[in-house]
Amino acid sequence: MKQENYAMLCDFYELTMANGYFRNGFHERVLYFDLFYRSVPDGGGFAIAAGLEQAIEYLQDLHFDEEDIDFLRSKNIFDEEFLEYLRQFRFTGDIWAVPEGTPIFPSEPIMTIRAPAIQAQLIETYLLLALNHQSLIATKANRIVRAADGRTVLELGSRRAQGASGAVLGARAAYIGGCHGTACVLTDQMYGVPSAGTMAHAWVQSFDTEYEAFRTFCELYPNNATLLVDTYNTLKSGVPNAIRAFKEVLLPKGIHKCAIRLDSGDIAYLSKEARKMLDAAGLTECKIVASNSLDEYLITDLLRQGAKIDIFGVGERLITAKSTPVFGGVYKLVAVEHPDGTIEPKIKISENIIKITNPHFKKVYRFYDNETGKALADELCLFDEDAPEGETHTIFDPNATWKTKTLTHFTAKSLLVPIFKDGELVYETPPLEEIRRYCLEQVSLLWDEVRRFENPHTYYVDLSQKLWDVRHQLLKEKQNLRNQ
């Protein structure tokens, strides 16, 4: 079977449009697209950008080989001259994007693409795939990590992921969002996300007795002994047998680091009872791990009930973002560049207000309070506008034009950074550990009201006056056309 070439991972209409651009002489016409999303998953206050590294790798390897050309020829729809064009195809455009780990909000560009029409069109599907998937998982992971309130969270969802790349890249995204490690060994090998694991019920069932299974595991892995205690009866046999194994194998070696795992039953109750038993046995340093269909809501409830859990293993509800399994990123044309260099803004209108786009080639500024360092608001500006300065700056609530927020003593920073210039990579991808640290730091700069799970405060994302005027004028022109 032919090895996958991700240049072919595109919607068929991207190719038919590209062929049309070529036939009409539009293939060198420079277009601007924004990649953004419309609503925060799970009704949250913000999302986390992720997937940029994979987008970069895709763009650097973008090409069509002879097998791809032959396949497209077999469709009997594409011009031979267009297929010859694809034979020499590579990305030569410009891209700006927010760094991975950045908190992002609806309707603001996560990525802006400036490229010849065919190039800009063909890359749409993969860019959306890369950023939609990992941003979704990073966002869900961050919610779960915040619910755990400083406790360790491990990603354990590979076997429930949607395909191999969903497991591997999902674990990468979960690490960016704040998880401490993964069960996926391939993600560790490829990206350095720490992998860890304990045992399955099959290990316990394979031995004649539960105690023998626990003792053998402790002898084999004395420095990493986490015992699954719910195969038969958690409190009557599992925890007592674990205590016996720890005392007889680990303590004589001076090893006090150990753990038990709860994977079923009333975890709040079982964890509290297990903690009492472990402490009474002198195993006060023994950790309690909990798994079994957890998410941010269940973790919050467990901790509210006083559960004695040190480590959470989260699987299917994280790796699939089960509660909101789609990140609504879209890719929309916002401007056309003419041969003389002038940029003509474009807008998409809709009966559905949320689908009306913000036109033009834009910058995004984030305002930080000089005293607290907290993020105050974002503003979308035209590409040639400088960062707002002065004593005060007024921001409008995006959902209520009568409501304003006056900023004072602020610093404005540009969110979009150059990634590609004329097809050449100009961005140095940070190590994954650095991305993770940056993510947790940036999330900490959001107000608690924005971070809460239920009915979060709406973060202000406004348009500059110049951009608002452009948008208003274009909407007025479109309305006039509809009334003719």
Predicted local confidence at residue 144, as pLDDT: 98
Contact 62, 89 (CB under 8 A): yes
Predicted local confidence at residue 351, as pLDDT: 81
Those residues whose C-beta lies under 8 Å from the C-beta of residue 413, and which sit 6 or more positions away, are 365, 366, 368, 387
Q: Tell which phi-psi region holds residue 101, choosing left (phi > 0), alpha (psi between -120 and 50) or beta.
A: left
Q: Summarize the confidence of residues 286-305 as an average pLDDT.
A: 96
* Tens-digit pLDDT profile for residues 82-120: 999 999 999 999 999 999 999 999 999 999 999 999 999
Q: Is the pLDDT of residue 322 over 70?
A: yes
For residue 153, list its beta bridge partners. 312
* Tens-digit pLDDT profile for residues 28-45: 899 999 999 999 999 999
Which domains, from first to last, does the chain contain?
6-137+325-483 (3.20.140.10), 141-319 (3.20.20.70)
Per the model's pLDDT, the better-predicted residue between 445 and 479 turns out to be: 445
Q: Is the pLDDT of residue 157 over 60?
A: yes
Query: Which 8-state DSSP code applies to residue 407?
Result: E
Q: Hey, how many other C-beta atoms are within 10 angstroms of the C-beta on 6? A: 18
| pTM score above 0.85 | yes
The secondary element (H helix, E strand) that includes residue 126 is: helix 124-148
Predicted local confidence at residue 173, as pLDDT: 98
Of the candidates 7, 196, 204, the one whose C-alpha atom is nearest the C-alpha of residue 118 is 7
Share of the chain above pLDDT 70, in %: 97
Q: Summarize the confidence of residues 335-342 as an average pLDDT.
A: 95
Four-CA torsion 332, 112, 321, 289, nearest 10 degrees: 180
Per the model's pLDDT, the better-predicted residue between 194 and 480 turns out to be: 194
Strand 152-155, strand 311-314: pairing: parallel
Q: How confident is the model at residue 388 (pLDDT cuts 50, 70, 90)?
A: confident
Predicted local confidence at residue 484, as pLDDT: 60
Place of tokens 């998409």: 348
Predicted local confidence at residue 140, as pLDDT: 98
Share of the chain above pLDDT 90, in %: 88
Strand 181-182, strand 152-155: pairing: parallel
For residue 104, list its beta bridge partners. 47
Predicted local confidence at residue 391, as pLDDT: 66
Is the Cα dihedral 435, 441, 446, 449 positive or negative?
A: positive
Backbone angles phi, psi at 212, to 5 degrees: -60, -40
Rounded CA separation 323/143 (Å): 12
Q: Is the pLDDT of residue 132 over 80?
A: yes
Rounded CA separation 9/7 (Å): 5
Predicted local confidence at residue 225, as pLDDT: 96
Rounded CA separation 318/331 (Å): 25
Cα distances from 115 to residues 1, 94, 123, 333, 430, in angstroms, run 33, 6, 10, 11, 25
Q: How confident is the model at residue 155 (pLDDT cuts 50, 70, 90)?
A: very high
* Tens-digit pLDDT profile for residues 5-25: 999 999 999 999 999 999 998
Predicted local confidence at residue 482, as pLDDT: 67
Predicted local confidence at residue 65, as pLDDT: 94
Q: Summarize the confidence of residues 254-269 as an average pLDDT.
A: 96
Lowest-confidence segment of 70-84, 289-303, 390-404, 430-444 by average pLDDT: 390-404
Strand 329-337, strand 311-314: pairing: unpaired
Q: How confident is the model at residue 409 (pLDDT cuts 50, 70, 90)?
A: confident
Predicted local confidence at residue 153, as pLDDT: 98
Q: Hey, how many other C-beta atoms are within 10 angstroms of the C-beta on 26? A: 17
- Contacts for 182-187: CB closer than 8 Å, 24+ residues apart: 182/154, 182/155, 182/156, 182/158, 183/154, 183/155, 183/156, 183/157, 183/158, 183/313, 184/155, 184/158
Of the candidates 70, 60, 75, the one whose C-alpha atom is nearest the C-alpha of residue 7 is 60
Predicted local confidence at residue 390, as pLDDT: 66
Q: How confident is the model at residue 53 (pLDDT cuts 50, 70, 90)?
A: very high
Q: Summarize the confidence of residues 418-445 as an average pLDDT.
A: 98
Q: Summarize the confidence of residues 291-316 as an average pLDDT.
A: 96
Of the candidates 405, 413, 412, the one whose C-alpha atom is nearest the C-alpha of residue 449 is 405
Of the candidates 52, 178, 191, the one whose C-alpha atom is nearest the C-alpha of residue 440 is 178
Predicted local confidence at residue 392, as pLDDT: 77
Q: Is the pLDDT of residue 324 over 90?
A: yes
Q: Is the pLDDT of residue 447 over 90?
A: yes
Predicted local confidence at residue 401, as pLDDT: 54
Write down the mean pLDDT value for the chain: 94
Q: Is the pLDDT of residue 308 over 70?
A: yes
Predicted local confidence at residue 451, as pLDDT: 96
